[in-house]
Amino acid sequence: MEAAITRPPVAATEGGSNTASEALTYLPMVVLGGVAFLLVFLTLLGNRTLGPKRATPAKVSSYECGEKATPGARGPIDVQYYMFVLTFLVFDVEAMFLIPFALKFKDTSLIGTAAIVAIAIFVGLILVGYLYEIKKKLLAWRALE
């Protein structure tokens, strides 16, 4: 009679994943989230309990370095401010992409032709937009009416 070949039982972690140990890897993030929530909660609670109870006009008014606050500060804002802000954001995002590219490809032997063409197209498009702004005189500061 032949002896039956028996195999030892397969452990739960073999071929699968141990969910308890994977969950423990997220424990620091959960603790950080709990501490952040607790900090915000305690700050709001402290403001509620330690803050002024009786509001007077002097207590609730904003302090403007000795100047009286002018009511109705919600006037129209000229569009030229937005042009400068948008131009700044475009160049800021461009730098955000170009700096890591330059740091990654310091050695010119690593740069492929496709990467050079892609970054040249990117910079070219930004340059075309900037030249359009200059041509239309969108960045020329005008006196407010």
Which helix (H) or strand (E) is 126 found in, with range? helix 113-135
- Those residues whose C-beta lies under 8 Å from the C-beta of residue 58, and which sit 6 or more positions away, are none
Nearest-5° Cα angle at 124, 118 to 130: 145
Residue with tokens 């606050």: 69
All structural domains of the chain with their residue ranges: 19-53, 79-135
- Those residues whose C-beta lies under 8 Å from the C-beta of residue 141, and which sit 6 or more positions away, are 80
Question: What are the CA-CA distances from residue 69 to residues 4, 54, 62, 66, 106 (Å)?
Answer: 93, 21, 7, 9, 54
- DSSP letter string over 18-54? -HHHHHHTTHHHHHHHHHHHHHHHHHHHHHHHHS-SS
Q: Exposure of 12 by Cβ count < 10 A (0-12 exposed, 13-18 middle, 19+ buried)? A: exposed
Per-residue model confidence as pLDDT tens for the chain (145 residues):
566 677 665 555 555 567 778 888 899 999 999 999 999 999 999 988 987 778 787 777 776 676 666 666 676 777 788 888 889 999 999 989 888 888 877 766 666 777 888 888 999 999 999 999 899 888 888 776 5
